[in-house]
Copies of this chain bind each other. A is one copy, B any other.
């Protein structure tokens, strides 16, 4: 019986393990070891074994891990063996690019709908989707049971929009706006901010 919660920093590494394993599988490999996976990801073998052992015993002494089996297990742990419908909020440049991006399908996520509040954008076609009026979001989200939103509105609108999303039932937000969101702690938030990452790197440049 596992009483202590898994550290979030461990959870955050699991998707990377899954990604590496999929690439190994694509390359035709069927087994790997903590050592090999660690070299691939630049993570110590001990850490990988320790992380995985939090969830079960997935390997075999002497031979390592069966790749397809470990992929299955990680997908189960991360809840991505099902397909999550996600909503894109904001049909600007970034919203467009995300809707057209093919990388989410077959990885646990399906872009279900895209919303904007600009009358000039509502009704516009993007790939297979039509931009919907943000006023209809509650209906759409509740009908499809959507729990995840990708927020690509301007910084000035992000906080208010995020609060609205939470009010209509969203539980997780991938925030592309360059502002920290202040939301109830039970709502999961991850931020994507290229400027922050660029400034992190320039510290080390001449």
Instruction: Please give the residue numbers on chain A whose beta carbons come within 8 Å of chain B beta carbons, in ascending order.
Output: 11-12, 14-16, 18-20, 23, 40-42, 77-80, 84, 86, 93-94, 96-98, 100-101, 103-104, 107-109, 147-148, 150, 171-172, 174, 178-180, 188, 190, 192-205
Using Cβ atoms and an 8 Å threshold, which residues of chain B touch A147? 205
Cβ contact within 8 Å between B93 and A199: no
A84 to B200, alpha carbons, bound, how many Å? 13
A99 to B193, alpha carbons, bound, how many Å? 15
Using Cβ atoms and an 8 Å threshold, which residues of chain B touch A199? 14-15, 18, 78, 80, 107-108
Closest B residue, CB atoms, query A16: B196
| Contacts A148-B202, A172-B205 known; 9 new A-B pairs at CB < 8 A | A15-B195, A18-B199, A77-B203, A84-B205, A93-B96, A148-B201, A174-B197, A190-B198, A192-B197
Using Cβ atoms and an 8 Å threshold, which residues of chain B touch A98? 194
Taking the closest CB of chain B, its distance from the CB of A77, in whole angstroms, is: 7
Cβ contact within 8 Å between A42 and B107: no
Cβ contact within 8 Å between A202 and B79: yes
A201 to B11, alpha carbons, bound, how many Å? 9
Taking the closest CB of chain B, its distance from the CB of A187, in whole angstroms, is: 10
